[in-house]
Amino acid sequence: MSSLVGRRLDAHQDNVVRQDVVIDFHSVVMVPIVTDCLVGHKNTINCLAVSRNGNMLASRGCDGMRIWDLKRRVQLPTPPQTPAVRNPADPVTCACWITRHEATRKMLCYGTRLGFIGIWHQQGEGLQDFDAKVSRRVGMGKEIMCLAYDHTGDKLEFVELATTIPRTMNFNCTASRNILVFGMYDSEIHTLRGTDGIVITTNSAGPLIGYASVDAAQMLFLMDNVTNGFSLHRLEDAVCICTYNTNPVKTFPKQVVFGRKATLVVGGSDTGVIYIFDKNEGTLKQVLQHADKGRVQTVTTYDGTHHSLIFGATSMNNTEPTISIWCRKLDSVAKSTNDHPLESALKNFVRGIAQLTITMALIAYVLRTHNTSRISLAPLGNAWQEYSKKFNRPQDLTDDVCLLVEKYIEDQKRGEGFERVRSPVDNKKYAWTSEAHHIRQ
């Protein structure tokens, strides 16, 4: 059985109220996912950006920029935003986090429709405040369509192509630091030389590019083809490998990104849902209900060590704008299976030694506490000698130790027994939960 727990965060007031509701999805939902809903924007949400460590989310609409603490699910204080920044005629069109490897304070960079660029710098106690460092118009004041940041550099570069309206931009991971630019209306992918911005190669991917995203290995890219859904292409020649049909009612451009270590395709819709496809098979894996209806043109993802996140945002003004957050915990069993054999063997050996040490200490403590000698440690020593001779696996050794402990517990049951505190959901794979409590912003 699959179940979802939905949480709503209301940022209109000083207190953030969270209410949990249980949501049941169609059979395409394969795993339980916990979802949160961030509420606070008054207008269309144009862009989402997650910090590198996954702790913060920046969202921007026509009513200003907001920053959310994803751990506490609260909105953080932001610098005073002038009427020009909140101007509906000049909404923020793109945003990205600028974080150098050696820096502890994050910076948020954003661009607007009228060509303004702004940079906020993290500061204050607990690094929960932001200060506006830059706010100026660049170039000829044309719309800033996309931003890209090279973590190895310290310069801010601007490139303008006379024949292309860029939809997405990426730095090449090679030493040349070339720039990949995806054109919106001409569907051309330009490679610009990193030293001078000269176009060195150009490929065509189709009629239109509503949005594009490149995988971490820079071998593939996804795009919204603005016709029947999304498509996967090779980056070297823009040849289409796979298509993901969503049967759109209207051909609004929608963001599409890679998810869960580039194994999933996550994209928006014009029907209030977020689609999740298997990248290689092309099959629909899940449908996430962001809203009852309306456009979900803004989506992004984040891959952490133990979980993956999917974010979706409302892209219409005639409904309450919300940001939905969907979380899937990574399968530790599958993760360990994919480990290198030598690495797994080393981990098992260290785990076995640790378990042996803890078990020996536990037995010594129990014997000393109960002043009994019914259990001899000789079998444990024999087990260790046997392990040293035959180089058995650590699991074999720990199994012998566990047998000794179980024998001791069985002997003690006749006298003084142990009481185990068991959770009512210990034997359940999934649990339905419902709670309601308040979080102080």
Both tokens assigned to 3: 């179940």
Sign of the dihedral defined by the CA atoms of residues 286, 291, 296, 299, in that order: negative
Q: Residue 334: its pLDDT value, please?
A: 46
Residues near 113 by beta carbon (within 8 Å), at least 6 away in sequence: 89, 90, 91, 93, 143, 144
Both tokens assigned to 34: 């916990």
3-class DSSP assignment, residue 273: strand
Q: Residue 16: its pLDDT value, please?
A: 34
Distance CA 55, CA 71 (A): 6
Distances (CA, A) of 307 to 167, 169, 223: 29, 27, 25
Q: pLDDT grade, residue 53 (50/70/90)?
A: confident
What's the full length of the chain, in residues? 441
Rg (CA), the chain: 27
Q: Is the pLDDT of residue 326 over 70?
A: yes
Distance CA 395, CA 387 (A): 10
**Element of type H or E holding 45:** strand 45-50
Q: Residue 282: its pLDDT value, please?
A: 94
Encode pLDDT of 343-380 as tens digits. Answer: 666 777 778 888 888 888 887 777 776 665 555 555 55
Distance CA 371, CA 166 (A): 78
Encode pLDDT of 140-195 as tens digits. Answer: 778 888 888 876 666 666 667 778 888 898 888 777 788 999 999 888 999 998 88
Q: Residue 4: its pLDDT value, please?
A: 33
Distance CA 389, CA 162 (A): 74
Q: Residue 342: its pLDDT value, please?
A: 60
Distance CA 244, CA 252 (A): 16
Q: Residue 113: its pLDDT value, please?
A: 85
Mean pLDDT of 230-256: 93
Distance CA 355, CA 368 (A): 20
Residue, of 226 and 2, whose pLDDT is higher = 226
Q: Residue 224: its pLDDT value, please?
A: 95
Q: Residue 36: its pLDDT value, please?
A: 76
The residue whose two tokens read 């068991």 is 422
DSSP annotation of 411 reads H
Encode pLDDT of 256-276 as tens digits. Answer: 999 999 999 999 999 999 999
Strand 307-313 with 436-440, pairing: unpaired
Q: Residue 266: its pLDDT value, please?
A: 97
3-class DSSP assignment, residue 179: strand
DSSP annotation of 296 reads B
Residues near 262 by beta carbon (within 8 Å), at least 6 away in sequence: 215, 216, 217, 220, 279
Instruction: Provide the whole-model pTM.
Output: 0.67
Q: Centre a 10 Å sphere on the Cβ of residue 349 and count the other Cβ atoms it contains.
A: 14
Distances (CA, A) of 376 to 221, 234, 382: 64, 65, 11
Backbone angles phi, psi at 294, to 5 degrees: 100, 175
